[in-house]
């Protein structure tokens, strides 16, 4: 039997040890024969894997199932698993047969031969000793070159595919590891041992590789050293590492910079090394360089090393103290002043050189540091006398109660009293502009080819209005304009889907029906005719998806293989997009965490006697948001009317203003136009039009509508006469419970509406939305006269942590709507104030200018948000401060007054910097508005004194609200 036939048999039977033994016995001719046959055999294994998976799928799936993404994904995974069973054996054969190191390394790093994650049952660990045995039989230079090339393919700590092979080769061959940063991360993540032959060369590299600090940030020195620190300690004891070398590595890593988590390991290592004063003295200049900008723990460490050495000359002390006085951390600034105090007491003549550092501390953000600096100036006034002008110039930086103490000795002007704020006027709110018209038509009709373009609620309104107008006025011209998009396939393949839950699906059907009447129904019938015998088709569908698992084995390098793989994926994507899908199932997933809609009244929940379209292509009502469902119903009825030749000449519901409102006069004119053509308007379009009417009765237009000879006109007349829909009961309820891992916050939206008798309107108001989709703008365009209903439905974004999806247009649209405001509007605005969304400032200013801002409710809800969620206070304060600057100071004060009682620390709680910042802003705005009236919670904290910034700000606010005398 030839060498190749024997090798082929051993691979097929998965006889790992026997294969390695046979490979070790190769002569040069046998190596050449096997190396030539291996790539061809990989293709055979690929074909066998595809056949195996296809045969298995044929017994349980239809052709339609094979087009399902989940089935295709499982097929890829199963085919990959079939091929991976032979991966280690192919590696062993290649390692023994391939001649050049470059080609052998390329073969050993084919990712289709390796598991991409540490799956259970990976055969590589069991085969690795046999692979290393084969490699060890090759020439030493060959081994070292292959080990180096394979090691350079490791991509990081999570590269489980190549780590065992790379480190196995490096250890077995004794080759020097290449200077490859991901290799260091992978080595550390794989566990470090004092006996590892790689430790001596790899450990010193941890100071040079980015990402090491974050990977090792959880390593501990105390109370018990973690494994890595234990290994380092053992190597130090054995003399394999030196303290000097590790200290130099730590200091060099500090000087390169980074944030605190990235440097935490090196700080702990430096602490464990515990350098002697002599060792620290030699690095004092480096430690000084760390004081100005290094993260707090690093600067603290550097200062400790400087303080234990010395004495230092005055220039070094001045440099260090000034760097520390400039830092925001109170601990470091305090330590810098202590250093200054000690040095001046020891060397009074150096006080002049230290005066600028002391002056810097006068302007520190912390009152404690300012007070300490003022006391030091007074204490050392004799030594500082020659440079009194330096301190005098800095006196205005001190608070009003500290400035006079210093100016009495050194001169200088104290800080002036707080100037009165210049009160700005709220910017006027411009009247809403007209709803944009879809012009010019030639460019407009090309836009529907973009699937996502039509998801925009404004654009789909434009498209629908233009389509209905053009199809009734000049259908031949419209057909000619749309035909190119049918011929290109852009408006064809969507029509064969089982469920049409996107605007573009229905638009495609409308376009195709316009150009080729009856073709949509024919396409749907063809798509539903699934062949019974699907084995061959299944293999055709699966093969492109799994082809790249074992393909491109002849590529010389991994980079070439990846480029070829990307090209193959691009070709497959194009092929899939250009060919219509036979049938696709749509899966909807509803998530209900932290969302508890209140149950509606029995009267509202009773079954509606009216019938609704039951077209199977419409999605389930709860699988899309309510505005989208209403929009899909409108698209469905336009499509049905087009097929049945009963399309009205104009749609009723197209807005006339950008806010989504519809001019009632325009609505009546559209009714009259429909009556003139003898065509009844479409039901869903009529009900959307009613919702877009402005609030308030219009008896004159109601009388005019009643004269129009249409069934829809009577509904419009009643709506205009009665002033529209009654405002639903809205609100929300907070529920905070103790959970295993902390408090659990639940918010129950409340929405209870009186039935209107219009099916689609009642369906829209049946319950708060449970769909967190990019459909937020649709709510204000659908219900522009009922702002609080919009807010109740936007709560879905807030309570599920998706408020980052609340884009500016959603919030501004809610602000521009009409209708009462309440707790739901307040909570949405409070949440976006905290920086999770955008548009908060614009919405706040517009509502304030119109006198519609629920400021007190916003303050209450903001206190609950900040106390019970992870939202941040700083972004909210920035928006509120800017709003006050732009003229909304009265409304901001109302917000702050309502916020303080619920936000300030309660019994047993300690104030923090956020509490201080909130009270400070409240005090500033109170001065601007001339506010008065005691806030008991503020007075209670103010009575405890001025020992902290929080206490001083409470005193300032209390005194503003309750002036003495």
pLDDT by residue (tens digit) across 278-303? 899 889 999 999 999 999 999 999 99
Which pLDDT band holds residue 70 (cuts at 50, 70, 90)?
low
Task: Name the packing angle between helices 87-97 and 101-108 (round to 10°).
Answer: 180
Q: Enter the tokens of residue 689.
A: 């039009």
The predicted pLDDT at position 439 comes to 66
Cis peptide, bond prior to residue 223, ω within 30 of zero: yes
pLDDT by residue (tens digit) across 507-524? 888 888 888 888 777 655
**Backbone φ and ψ of 182, nearest 5°:** -60, -25
Q: What is the rounded CA–CA span in Å between residue 612 and residue 624?
A: 17
494 HSE (CA, 13 A, CB side): 22
Q: Partners of 749 in the beta sheet?
A: 732
Residue 682 has pLDDT above 70, yes or no: yes
Q: What is the rounded CA–CA span in Å between residue 583 and residue 758?
A: 35
Which pLDDT band holds residue 583 (cuts at 50, 70, 90)?
very low
Q: What is the rounded CA–CA span in Å between residue 374 and residue 412?
A: 13
**Backbone φ and ψ of 638, nearest 5°:** -65, -45
Q: What is the rounded CA–CA span in Å between residue 34 and residue 134?
A: 15
The predicted pLDDT at position 534 comes to 39
The predicted pLDDT at position 528 comes to 47
Q: Enter the tokens of residue 676.
A: 């003139």
The predicted pLDDT at position 379 comes to 93
Which pLDDT band holds residue 1 (cuts at 50, 70, 90)?
low
74 HSE (CA, 13 A, CB side): 13
Q: What is the rounded CA–CA span in Å between residue 371 and residue 394?
A: 14
Q: What angle do CA 210, 215, 220 make, to 5 degrees?
A: 125
Q: What angle do CA 682, 685, 688 make, to 5 degrees?
A: 150
The predicted pLDDT at position 572 comes to 37
The predicted pLDDT at position 620 comes to 82
DSSP secondary structure letter of residue 493: G
Q: What is the rounded CA–CA span in Å between residue 649 and residue 450?
A: 26
Which pLDDT band holds residue 119 (cuts at 50, 70, 90)?
very low
DSSP secondary structure letter of residue 426: P
Residue 543 has pLDDT above 50, yes or no: no
Average pLDDT over residues 434-453: 68
3-state percent breakdown (helix, strand, coil) of the chain, nearest 5:
65, 5, 35
Name the average pLDDT for the chain: 82
- Find the range with the poorest average confidence among 16-25, 356-365, 390-399, 562-571: 562-571
> Which parts of 498-588 fold into alpha helices (H)?
503-515, 519-528, 535-546, 558-578
How far from each other are the two terminal CA atoms of the chain, in whole angstroms? 113
Residue 659 has pLDDT above 90, yes or no: yes
pLDDT by residue (tens digit) across 491-501? 666 666 778 88
Residues 6+ apart with CB under 8 A from 768: 595, 597, 749, 751, 792, 793, 795, 796
The predicted pLDDT at position 609 comes to 34
Return the higher-pLDDT residue of 422 and 650: 650
pLDDT by residue (tens digit) across 390-434? 999 999 988 877 888 899 899 887 755 444 555 678 888 888 999
Average pLDDT over residues 259-271: 93
- Give the H/E segment covering residue 483: helix 475-487
């Amino acid at each position: 039997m030839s060498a190749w036939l024997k090798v082929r048999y051993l691979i097929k039977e998965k006889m790992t040890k026997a294969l390695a033994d046979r490979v070790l016995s190769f002569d040069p001719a046998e190596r050449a024969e096997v190396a030539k046959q291996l790539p061809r055999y990989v293709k055979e294994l690929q074909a066998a894997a595809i056949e195996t998976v296809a045969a298995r799928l044929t017994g349980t799936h239809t052709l339609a199932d094979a087009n399902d993404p989940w089935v295709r994904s499982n097929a890829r995974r199963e085919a990959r698993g079939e091929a991976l069973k032979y991966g280690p054996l192919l590696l062993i054969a290649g390692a023994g047969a391939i001649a050049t190191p470059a080609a052998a390394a390329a073969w050993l790093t084919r990712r289709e031969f390796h598991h991409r994650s540490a799956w259970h049952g990976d055969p590589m660990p069991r085969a690795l000793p046999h692979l290393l045995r084969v490699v060890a039989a090759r020439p030493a230079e060959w081994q070292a070159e292959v080990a180096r090339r394979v090691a350079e393919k490791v991509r990081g700590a999570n590269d489980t595919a190549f780590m065992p092979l790379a480190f196995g080769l490096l250890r077995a061959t004794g080759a020097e590891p290449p200077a490859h940063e991901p290799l260091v991360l992978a080595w550390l993540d794989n566990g470090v041992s004092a006996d590892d032959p790689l430790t001596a060369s790899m450990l010193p590299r941890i100071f040079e590789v980015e990402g090491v600090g974050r990977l090792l940030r959880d390593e501990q020195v105390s109370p018990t050293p973690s494994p890595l620190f234990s290994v380092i300690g053992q190597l130090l004891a054995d003399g394999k590492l030196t303290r000097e070398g590790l200290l130099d590595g730590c200091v060099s890593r500090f000087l390169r910079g980074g944030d605190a988590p990235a440097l935490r390991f090196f700080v702990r290592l430096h602490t464990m090394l515990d350098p002697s004063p002599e060792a620290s003295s030699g690095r004092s200049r480096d430690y000084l360089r760390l004081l100005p900008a290094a993260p707090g723990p690093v600067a603290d460490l550097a200062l400790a090393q400087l303080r234990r050495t010395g004495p230092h000359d005055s220039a070094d002390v001045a440099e260090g103290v000034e760097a520390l006085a400039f830092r925001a951390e109170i601990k470091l600034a305090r330590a810098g002043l202590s250093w200054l105090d000690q040095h001046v007491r020891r060397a009074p003549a150096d006080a002049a050189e230290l005066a600028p550092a002391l002056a810097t501390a006068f302007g520190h953000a912390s009152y404690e540091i300012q007070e300490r600096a003022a006391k030091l100036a007074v204490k050392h006034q004799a030594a500082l006398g020659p440079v009194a002008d330096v301190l005098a110039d800095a006196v205005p930086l001190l608070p009003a109660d500290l400035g006079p103490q210093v100016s009495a000795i050194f001169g200088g002007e104290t800080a002036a009293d707080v100037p009165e704020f210049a009160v700005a006027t709220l910017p006027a709110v411009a009247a809403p502009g007209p709803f944009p018209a879809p012009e010019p038509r030639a460019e407009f009709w090309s836009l529907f080819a973009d699937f996502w373009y039509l998801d925009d609620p404004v654009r789909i309104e434009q498209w629908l209005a233009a389509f209905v107008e053009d199809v009734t006025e000049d259908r031949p011209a419209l057909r000619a304009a749309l035909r190119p998009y049918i011929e290109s396939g852009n408006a064809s393949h969507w029509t064969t889907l089982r469920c049409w839950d996107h605007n573009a699906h229905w638009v495609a059907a409308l376009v195709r029906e316009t150009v080729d009447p009856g073709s949509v129904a024919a396409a749907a019938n063809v798509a539903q005719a699934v062949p019974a015998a699907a084995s061959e088709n299944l293999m055709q569908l699966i093969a492109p998806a799994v082809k790249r698992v074992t393909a491109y084995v002849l590529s010389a390098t991994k980079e070439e293989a990846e480029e070829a793989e990307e090209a193959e994926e691009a070709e497959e994507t194009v092929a899939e997009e250009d060919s219509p899908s036979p049938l696709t199932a749509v899966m909807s997933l509803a998530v209900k965490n932290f969302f508890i809609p209140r149950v509606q009244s029995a009267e509202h929940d009773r079954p509606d006697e009216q019938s609704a379209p039951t077209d199977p292509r419409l999605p389930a009502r709860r699988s899309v948001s309510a505005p989208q469902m209403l929009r899909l119903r409108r698209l469905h009825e336009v499509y049905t009317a087009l097929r049945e030749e009963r399309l009205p000449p104009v749609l009723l519901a197209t807005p006339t203003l950008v806010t989504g409102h519809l001019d009632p006069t325009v609505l009546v004119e559209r009714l009259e136009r429909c009556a003139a053509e003898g065509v009844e308007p479409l039901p869903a379009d009529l009900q959307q039009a009613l919702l877009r009417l402005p609030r308030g009765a219009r008896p004159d237009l109601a009388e005019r509508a009643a004269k129009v000879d249409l069934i829809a006109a009577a509904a419009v007349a009643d709506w205009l006469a009665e002033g529209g829909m009654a405002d639903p009961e809205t609100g929300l309820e907070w529920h905070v419970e103790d959970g295993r891992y902390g408090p659990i916050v639940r918010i129950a939206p409340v929405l209870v509406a009186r039935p209107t008798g219009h099916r689609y309107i009642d369906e829209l108001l049946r319950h708060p939305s449970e769909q967190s989709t990019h459909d937020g703008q649709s709510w204000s365009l659908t219900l522009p006269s009922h702002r609080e209903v919009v807010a109740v439905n936007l709560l879905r974004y807030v309570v599920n942590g998706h408020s980052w999806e609340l884009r500016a247009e959603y919030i501004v649209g809610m602000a521009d709507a009409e209708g009462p405001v309440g707790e739901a509007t307040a909570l949405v605005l409070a949440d976006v104030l905290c920086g999770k969304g955008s548009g908060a400032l614009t919405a706040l200013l517009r509502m304030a200018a119109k006198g519609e801002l629920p400021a007190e409710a916003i303050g209450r809800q903001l206190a609950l948000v900040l106390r019970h969620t992870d939202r941040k206070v700083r972004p909210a304060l920035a928006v509120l401060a800017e709003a006050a600057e732009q003229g909304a100071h009265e409304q901001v004060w109302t917000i702050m007054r309502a916020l303080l009682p619920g936000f300030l620390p309660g019994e047993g709680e300690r104030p923090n910097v956020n509490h201080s910042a909130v009270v400070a802003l409240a005090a500033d705005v109170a001065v601007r508005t001339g506010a008065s009236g005691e806030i008991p919670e503020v007075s209670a904290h103010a009575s405890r004194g001025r020992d902290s910034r929080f206490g001083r700000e409470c005193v300032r606010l209390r005194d503003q609200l309750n002036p003495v005398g």
